[in-house]
Amino acid sequence: MKTYQNLTLKGFGKAIAASCLLILVSACHDDDDDNSLMPPPEPMQYRYQVDVTNLTNAQPMSPFAVVLHNEGMLWNIGESANDAIENLAESGDNSQVLDLSVVLAGNSGADILMPGTSESIEVMITDTAPMYLSAATMLVNTNDAFTGINALDISQLAANESISMVMGSYDAGTEKNSELAETIPGPAAGGEGYNAERDDVDFVSAHPGVVSMDDGLTQSVLTQAHRFDNPTIRVTITRIE
């Protein structure tokens, strides 16, 4: 009888162990099933609203190019402008800026931004946190003046937070500031836009402003109304998602 009791106890212990193992395996299997039924996480979106205002008196601005990127700059003071900035600064065409290899996401303004008017441009990227935001536009009643934001750090900008600033203008240094009618593409002249020949200093600098016929430059098609001082734009960047 003693032997029978020992065998019974041993058998009972084995049965308990087997039951526990079965429960553990079943629990793991259930967890796997639960995980497989869970929906995938929603993709993380980073969306920004860029509000721009033209502060000049008579300088329409070409459609803004707004881009997100994690490296590089659109231009560097004292260095030669890249082809994308040259094209934008001489003709107002922003397509090459939007197609730069460093651009993660970008968007264009809808149309010419007239003096004293504002526009909102949204740009968004999914699952990649952007480090920088840049924007650029041409002052179209000039030879090669442009303005914008160059690699603004937005990495710490939280949802519903904003950054505001005013910006001056730059000379692309790719075309002489002759102010001749045939070299200015804006409504003041209706002349040529982009020209691949570089006949100026070939480096980006702060723009000195236009001279105009009213200040003694007899060849100029521009008037005192087309003069501009810094700043030329006001910009507010808001992270909206």
C-alpha span between 193 and 177 (Å, rounded) = 13
pLDDT at site 34: 58
Q: Are residue 9 and residue 113 in the same domain, yes or no?
A: no
pLDDT at site 234: 98
Q: Are residue 123 and residue 195 in the same domain, yes or no?
A: yes
Q: Which two tokens stand for residue 225?
A: 């109304």
pTM for this predicted structure = 0.83
Report the domain count for the chain.
2
Contacts of 166 (CB under 8 A, 6+ apart): 55, 231, 233, 234, 235
pLDDT at site 7: 41
Map residue 117 onto helix, strand or coil.
coil
C-alpha span between 153 and 155 (Å, rounded) = 6
CATH number at residue 76: 2.60.40.2130
Q: Are residue 8 and residue 85 in the same domain, yes or no?
A: no
pLDDT at site 3: 45
Q: Are residue 8 and residue 125 in the same domain, yes or no?
A: no
Instruction: Say how many CA atoms lie within 13 Å of 45 toward its Cβ.
Output: 8
**Domain boundaries, position 153:** 45-239
Contacts of 19 (CB under 8 A, 6+ apart): none
Q: Are residue 27 and residue 133 in the same domain, yes or no?
A: no
Contacts of 72 (CB under 8 A, 6+ apart): 100, 102, 151
pLDDT at site 42: 78
Q: Are residue 30 and residue 107 in the same domain, yes or no?
A: no
Tell me how many degrees the CA angle 129-138-116 measures, rounded to the nearest 5: 95
Q: Are residue 69 and residue 172 in the same domain, yes or no?
A: yes
Q: E-strand spans in the chain?
A: 45-54, 65-69, 103-108, 118-126, 132-138, 145-153, 162-167, 169-171, 205-206, 233-239
Q: Are residue 89 and residue 203 in the same domain, yes or no?
A: yes
Positive/negative CA dihedral, 9, 12, 18, 19: negative
Q: Are residue 30 and residue 99 in the same domain, yes or no?
A: no
Q: Are residue 27 and residue 61 in the same domain, yes or no?
A: no
- pLDDT (tens digit, 0 to 9) for every residue of the chain, 241 residues total? 444 444 444 444 454 444 444 444 444 444 555 556 777 777 899 999 999 999 999 999 999 999 999 999 999 999 999 999 999 999 999 999 999 999 999 999 999 999 999 999 999 999 999 999 999 999 999 999 999 999 999 999 999 999 999 999 999 999 999 999 999 999 999 999 999 999 999 999 999 999 999 999 999 999 999 999 889 999 999 999 9
Q: Are residue 71 and residue 4 in the same domain, yes or no?
A: no
Q: Are residue 111 and residue 9 in the same domain, yes or no?
A: no
Map residue 77 onto helix, strand or coil.
strand
pLDDT at site 35: 59
